[in-house]
Structure 1
Amino acid sequence: MIKVIGVRFRTAGKIYFFDPVDFDIKRGAHVIVETARGIEYGTVVGDPKEIEEDRVVSPLKPVLRVATARDIEQEAANKQKEKDAFKICLEKIKKHNLEMKLIDAEYTFDNNKVLFYFTADGRIDFRELVKDLASVFKTRIELRQIGVRDETKILGGIGICGRPLCCHSHLSEFVPVSIKMAKEQNLSLNPTKISGVCGRLMCCLKHEEETYEYLNRKLPNVGDFVTADDGLKGEVQSVNVLRQLVKVIVEVNDEKEIHEYKVEQLRFKRRHRKDKNDVMSAEERKELKELEKLEKQEKQDAKSKLDDTV
């Protein structure tokens, strides 16, 4: 076991481990650490704790110091400089007539480098732009092309749920999301309904996946035949996963009726779920193809281009 603290360098950014040394560091404190990008200012996201050594990237770098009042002032000054750098870079992009969208500008704490994050449909030859920017800022310049998920993580926004986007508010790393998760939760496979602001499958599909898998295991599938405690037998018409209720088509006095039961009131042998692809309309098949395309793009965007600090 090894003692560490977790540090973030941006809102909802990846958490990196550092050696707290002998400093009295608490959650919410600001620290100065050395990273692959240089000296950085970060926020401590938890009290010191002991973890398994195989979870740590060796060698574990130490905290240089707890941020002083002067460090805090410098960080605030850097934030203002980033706004100015963003405006200047926008002007230079326009001057060079480049097909790229500038997303963010970021100074390292020691001002050793300025990073500009951008999106573009293809590869961009920005060599002349870099030279132009270097002549203005007199420091190292890095232009980094990012994907739409990183763009959304940086800019933030409000989801269809009415809450701040998960990726911008609390998700440290992107989670793999698949069409299977939407099917497990019996959601519409309409791309517009299960895609996020970034245009990819919504990250929140992952949040309840485990719960739905657990609850679905207790339920029969639509089309299964069941026997109820009242002696009636019939075919499952629909299920309510969260309430654990099942609607069954039963025959009473030679007439078909729909009765609703708690799952505990039913006896059944669960069959494999039928493949809905066999009964899809042309429009539904088109939507599924769009989702499969999104799922493929999802895998390509799986690794964030923002996470390279340590």
Structure 2
Amino acid sequence: MDNEIQHNGIHGDEFHQLEDSSYNDYSDTTGIAVPIGDSTEPLDPTLPVYRLRLPYSHETFQAVFTTDLLSVGAMVIVPTRYGKDIAQIIGLVENRGNLTIGEVVSIDRIATSEDIEKAQQNKEKEKEAFTICREKIISHRLDMKLVSVHYLLEESKILFFFTAESRVDFRELVKDLVSIFKTRIELRQIGVRDESRIVGGLGVCGRGYCCHTVSDKLKPVSIKMAKDQNLSLNSMKISGPCGRLLCCLAYEHSFYNEVRRQLPQEGCKLIWQDANWKVAEVDPVGGKIKVICEDGRQVYVPVSRFEKQDGRWRLIDL
């Protein structure tokens, strides 16, 4: 629900508490930045399309700029779901497909030196606001965890992002924050995967979190993906620091699916050396298949020795 709070003439907002985005597959602009329009009209193919990132949330989206060619690393001003803000160009979109006007954002302008300086100053103000808000959360005994704070560049608004296991009544907290900062206050409840994307860190592989460094698109990950990749189903081994299944399971799943389509599946029965055998395990990466004989023998066979004829698989003797 949206509730508005008036405090000494200052407008404070209590906004939606979002559902955990780990269950959603976001498009490039949905909920992140404001697209040119909702039209399905094709985008001018001569316009270069840039990929931009919002520094404070690590969310990315696609945008165009009709005035000048922009270089990677340039800072620009774009319309976002919260208001105009600063973003960084991280590259050109090469595989643009059939992009429509409704899928891209129009860059307002190139950020000036004053904009960049203000953004740096805001970072210091955000640290102070974070400390104050956290103290107020404790004093109000609210069961919520503050994740980050962001000052919008061109709007009189401060964003506070938090996680919580359930809905939180933070109306009194908002009143306190409005009275302290004398500006519009917006609190947003985010999911644990969003928290990992914003904060960052090192995964079990020793590299930065995928959601923070590789892709911010939090696509659904299922336990079936782990099964298809012959991974241990121990939740501790296939879960990230956020407690959800590892994002990399989804990245590699298409490879396993493609390779598996060309190999016999688990449970497939075949006759070899005058005995009945059954496929017990397929290892696409190792290039071997485990087969079990009816008499209990177990053998690992290279995938190159399997051949499909007339819709049935058979083992080729060397």
TM-score when scaled to structure 2? 0.74
Partner of 2:65: 20
Cα distance between partner residues in 1 of 2:236 and 2:61: 35
Question: 1:205 deviation in Å?
Answer: 0.8
Q: 1:39 aligns with which of 84, 96, 102?
A: 84
Matched, 1:263 2:303: yes
Question: 1:224 deviation in Å?
Answer: 3.2
Q: Is the CA contact (8 Å cut-off) linking 1:28 and 1:43 kept in structure 2?
A: yes
Q: Is the CA contact (8 Å cut-off) linking 2:177 and 2:185 kept in structure 1?
A: yes
Partner of 1:92: 136
Deviations 1:233-291 (A, max 9, x none): 5524543321322244569xxx97554432232346369xxxxxxxxxxxxxxxxxxxx
Partner-residue secondary structure (3-state), 1:92: helix
Partner of 1:157: 201
Cα distance between partner residues in 2 of 1:132 and 1:9: 28
Q: Is the CA contact (8 Å cut-off) linking 1:221 and 1:270 kept in structure 2?
A: no
Alignment of 1:45-84 (within 5 A): 45-47=90-92, 51=96, 55-57=100-102, 62-84=106-128
Cα distance between partner residues in 2 of 1:10 and 1:270: 53
Question: 1:11 deviation in Å?
Answer: 6.4
Question: 1:78 deviation in Å?
Answer: 0.9
Partner of 1:302: none
Partner of 2:6: none
Partner of 1:217: 261
Question: 1:91 deviation in Å?
Answer: 1.5
TM-score when scaled to structure 1? 0.75
Coordinate RMSD, CA, aligned: 2.8
Per mean C-alpha deviation after superposition, the further-off stretch among 104-113 and 6-15 is: 6-15
Partner of 2:52: 7
Partner of 1:283: none
Partner of 2:22: none
Partner of 1:284: none
Question: 1:106 deviation in Å?
Answer: 0.6
Q: 1:244 aligns with which of 268, 287, 301?
A: 287
Cα distance between partner residues in 2 of 1:50 and 1:23: 21
Q: 1:195 aligns with which of 239, 259, 265?
A: 239
Cα distance between partner residues in 1 of 2:165 and 2:110: 42
Question: In structure 1, what residue type is equivalent to 2:202?
Answer: I
Matched, 1:29 2:74: yes
Partner-residue secondary structure (3-state), 2:118: helix
Partner of 2:175: 131
Cα distance between partner residues in 2 of 1:157 and 1:37: 26
Q: Is the CA contact (8 Å cut-off) linking 1:12 and 1:172 kept in structure 2?
A: no
Per mean C-alpha deviation after superposition, the further-off stretch among 219-228 and 179-188 is: 219-228
Larger relative helix fraction: 1
Per mean C-alpha deviation after superposition, the further-off stretch among 258-267 and 131-140 is: 258-267
Question: In structure 1, what residue type is equivalent to 2:285?
Answer: L
Question: In structure 2, what residue type is equivalent to 1:245?
Answer: K
Q: Is the CA contact (8 Å cut-off) linking 1:8 and 1:45 kept in structure 2?
A: yes
Could you list the runs of 5+ residues in structure 1 that have no partner in the other structure?
272-310
Q: How many residues align?
A: 265
Higher relative contact order (CA 8 A, sep 6+): 2
Cα distance between partner residues in 1 of 2:249 and 2:183: 43
Question: 1:101 deviation in Å?
Answer: 1.0
Could you list the runs of 5+ residues in structure 2 that have no partner in the other structure?
1-42
